[in-house]
Every structure is written in structure tokens, then in C-alpha cells.
Chains A and B, each alone.
Chain A
Amino acid sequence: MDNKEAIRDIKDIRSMMERSSRFLSVSGWGVAVAGLIAILAAWVAYSIFCDGTLFGDTHYLWEYKTRVAVFGSLVLVVLCGTIVFVSSVLLARRNGVKFVFDKTMRRTVFNFSVPLLAGGILCLALVMNGHYGLTSSMMLIFYGLALINCHHFSHPVLGTLGYLELLLGLIDSFVVTHALLLWAIGFGLLHVIFGVYLIVVNRKS
């Protein structure tokens, strides 16, 4: 055995340990596209609700608009989730890795879903009871917590994204007037940035 062999052995061991314990097939393209859709959605919402405080106005069409917005956001969440999932499957296929619902993926999905579902149900309750003001910050906070909760089992960078979302959500809970803007930054801009970062990282490996 020479030095090069020893170094290669160590590298192999590291990559094996990482690959077998982390779910790494997260597609940057999927995340970036989801971010763009979120920015577009925020823009559409802004033009519908005019004043930018999403659920703030007391317009006579208010209830109708709220329903449209809630329904629209549910559709969006499903759409973005699907895009990220499908593009991740494609990424795995390109890398020659079988995309199976294995232990690392199960752990990631489970740890991501628990805070997210709790937050989603809480937001639904808030909207149903007419407390619209805090929904956007709740969404950001719980989404951030979901990412922080699952990043040990997936891409480490998801943790950074999670802490940023959490911070934005907390800021949002104090700033009442710019809910939609902060929402667009958190779900739109940050996803585009992290999507591009993931594309670069995935290409390197």
C-alpha cells in the first residue's frame, strides 16, 4: 500500500458513510423553479389584494378572495412539492443512483413532514378563525423548523436555509405591513438562490 491508496481508502470510507446515511438527491433545478413559482404567486397575490398586506384589507370581496388565496396556496404547495420530487428522481437517475424509498429518504421525509404538517394545520386554524395577520410568519417559521429538523439526514445546506427561513418568519411576526414581501423573499428568492447553489454542488460531485 502506498500513500495514494491510503488517501483513496479514506475518501471511499467517507463517501460511503455519507451516501449511506444521508439522502442527497435533492435537485437544485426543482428548488429554483419552485422559488420562481413562489415569486410569481406572490406577485399575482399582490395584484389581487392590491395593498400588499395579503389578508389585511376589508374589501367587500374579502371573503371570496381569501378562499381563492387559501385554495391557490394549497394548489401551489402540491405543485412545488411535485416539481421538487420529480426533478429529484430525474437527478438520481442521471447520477445512476436508484431512487428508492429507502431508509435515508424515509427519515428525511418523516422529519421534514412532522413540523410542516403541524404548521400547516395551525395556519389553517388561524385562517378559519380569522387571524390572518400571523399566517405568513407561521408558514416561514414552521417551514424553517422542518428544514432544520431534517438537514442531518439530507443535504447539510438545508439547515442554513432553515435558519434563514426561521429568522425571516420571526421578523415577519413583528413587521405587519410587509407580509407578502417577506413571504416572497422566504419562499421565492431564498429558494432560487439555494437552488442555484445546489445545481453547482450537484454538478461538482
Chain B
Amino acid sequence: MERQMKISVLGLNKAFESRARLGIMSVLMVNDSADFTTLKQLLELTDGNLASHARALEEQGFIACEKRFVGRKPNTIYRATEKGRESFKEHLVALEQFIKEQK
């Protein structure tokens, strides 16, 4: 029992602990890609906030970003990487486990 607890706590990924990062990953799990504006509106974040959280996830290799121009406006498109998907799934399993054990 004790051993199991430790494993599940380890399974919770620090990288997903912030609300914003959890949100970004959730959106990118069910959509092939999402652009900066869509993410900003969905998660109700400011430009700077979203940019910094997205950069953090990108540095960990969980998401990939691609900068494009629509007309003259820059537009960034985000995608979850294979590594990001796997890690997020593991995080979800750990969350589930955590809730079960607390009951």
C-alpha cells in the first residue's frame, strides 16, 4: 500500500501542476492543433501568461509550436508532441489513482 502511494505521487507530473498548463494540454489532447488566439480565449489567459506557460511546455518537449503569418499578423500554432501525450496520459492515470487512494 505504502509503495503504491509513492509511485502514484511520483506519477503526478510537476509540469502539469499549473492550471494554465493543464488547460493547454487538455485542449491539445482533443484537437490536432490550436492557435494562440483560440487557446487564449478558451483558457481566459493574458497574452504574456499563455506565452510563458506555452514556452515552459515547449522547453520540456511536451508541445511543439509553429510560427506562421496570416497576412501580416503573426500566428502561432501549437500541437501536442507524442512525448507530451504520453506524459499527460500518465499524469491523468496518476490523478485517478490518487483520488482512489484517498477515498
Contact = CB atoms under 8 A, between A and B. Distances in A.
A9 B27 contact: no
Taking residues whose C-beta sits less than 8 angstroms from the other chain, chain A's interface range is 10 to 19
Interface in A104-121: none
Interface string B39-72: 0011100000000000000000000000000000
Given A12-B22, A16-B26, A6 B31 contact: no
A102 B42 CA distance: 11
Interface residues of B, number: 22
Interface of A: 1-3, 6-7, 9-10, 12-13, 16-17, 19-21, 97-98, 100, 102-103
Main secondary structure of the interface of B (DSSP, over half): helix
B23 A16 contact: yes
Nearest to A97: B41
A54 B65 CA distance: 58
B57 to A, nearest CB: 15
Contacts of B95: 6, 9-10
A103 B99 contact: no
B101 to A, nearest CB: 9
A19 to B, nearest CB: 6
B98 to A, nearest CB: 5
A20 B31 contact: yes
B75 interface: no
Nearest to A7: B99
A98 B40 CA distance: 11
A1 B98 contact: yes
A16 B27 contact: yes
Of A1, A2, A20, the most chain B CB neighbours within 10 A belong to A20
Rank and list the top 9 A-B pairs by shortest CB-CB distance, nearest first: A16-B26, A3-B102, A20-B27, A21-B30, A13-B26, A17-B30, A6-B98, A6-B99, A17-B26
A3 B31 CA distance: 28
B74 to A, nearest CB: 19
13 contacts: A1-B12, A6-B102, A10-B92, A13-B92, A16-B22, A16-B23, A16-B43, A20-B26, A20-B27, A20-B30, A20-B34, A21-B31, A97-B41
Contacts of B19: 12
A100 B92 CA distance: 31
Contacts of A7: 99
Given A16-B43, A20-B38, 6 more contacts: A1-B98, A3-B99, A16-B22, A19-B42, A97-B41, A98-B41
Nearest to A16: B26
Given A9-B22, A12-B19, A102-B38, A17 B27 contact: yes
